[in-house]
Amino acid sequence: MIRLQRRDFITLIGGAATAPSLLWPLAARAQQPMAKLPTIGFLGAATPSAWSQRVAAFLQRMHELGWTEGRTVVVEYRWAEGRPERFLEIAAEFGQLKVDVIIAAGTPAVLAAKQATSVVPIVFVGAGDPVGTGLVASLPRPGSNVTGLSSQAVDTVGKRLELLRELMPGIRRLAIMGNVDNPVNVLEMREIREACAALGLELDALEIRRTADIVPAFDALKRGAEALYIAADPLVIANQIRINTLALGARVPTMHGLREYVEAGGLMSYGANFPDLFRRSAEYADKILRGAKPADLPVEQPTKFELVINLITAKALGLDVTPTLLARADEVIE
């Protein structure tokens, strides 16, 4: 044990009093707030449970790139729960929080974020047609605070129609349901209208804007549509079980662009693998947090597409799915 004589103690205290610069800097440094961690605003169109795989894919890639949630980066999650009117509110909140980058999926959410800020970098995940809807000036040179990954939803309309005709070779009349307040749905509906005209198929366009429009839209199926093409949209995501139940009740097969709809009882989907897109969006976030500008990061296309078929729904509708089509599927739900 170290013992101090009384005179040594007094000398020590006196020295500290005459040399405060030796102690005060330490106290000042202790009182200084910790530096703010880089912050990502994650705008989810659906719910945490519905997007659990997407969030996990994003965080896993961030971790691989050297970021750990809560330690080296903060992720502020906000969920619109299928209500597009929440997008602008959430985007404005991210502006108040002064996030360093916003991750948003789907064109309506990205348009809202772009409206809320022209400064904060925005990375979109799965925009259907980034150039056609005005999100970016071009794919190689986005030209603003927005960049990300396309889902090619509009470009793959023909493939979905081809798969539907393979399942139902004698189909003559098709219906398409889309939220006409979503610019990608409008483009998708126009694309399928042109494709049907070239194939000699009749087409019924079922336009929706809110949940209350869904049941009346199904009434229009009584005109004789033999299948229903459903354009992906947050409004549809929020009502996917209702839509699939109504379609099953009307005995109408459904074609979708996202696997989630098939997992919820739809018949078939073909589209980009969204967990993979979210994984790759982490690479954009990483580059931006390290100083890159969105305008200099080219928009990328999907590299993984998947065909998913729900055999339970097919059997309920009395449809025979050919072995050839089943063999091409990436996943069969049975």
CATH numeric code, 157-272+306-333: 3.40.50.2300
- pLDDT tens for the chain, 334 residues long, are 344 444 443 444 444 444 443 333 444 444 445 578 999 999 999 889 889 999 999 999 999 999 999 999 999 999 998 888 899 999 999 999 999 999 999 899 999 999 999 999 999 999 989 999 999 999 999 989 999 999 999 999 999 999 999 999 999 999 999 999 999 999 999 999 999 999 999 999 999 999 999 999 998 887 789 999 999 998 898 899 999 999 999 999 999 999 999 999 999 999 999 999 999 999 999 999 999 999 999 999 999 999 999 999 999 999 999 999 999 999 999 9
The pTM of the full predicted model, rounded to 2 decimals, is 0.84
- CATH fourth-level superfamily of 39-151+274-304: Response regulator (3.40.50.2300)
Q: Which residue has the tokens 């916003």?
A: 102
Domain boundaries along the sequence of the chain: 39-151+274-304, 157-272+306-333
Residue 266's CB is within 10 A of a number of other CB atoms, namely 28
Same fold, 39-151+274-304 and 157-272+306-333: yes
Backbone φ, ψ for residue 95 (5° rounding): -65, -40
The string of DSSP letters for 160-223 reads HHHHHHHH-TT--EEEEEEETTSHHHHHHHHHHHHHHHHHT-EEEEEEESSGGGHHHHHHGGGG
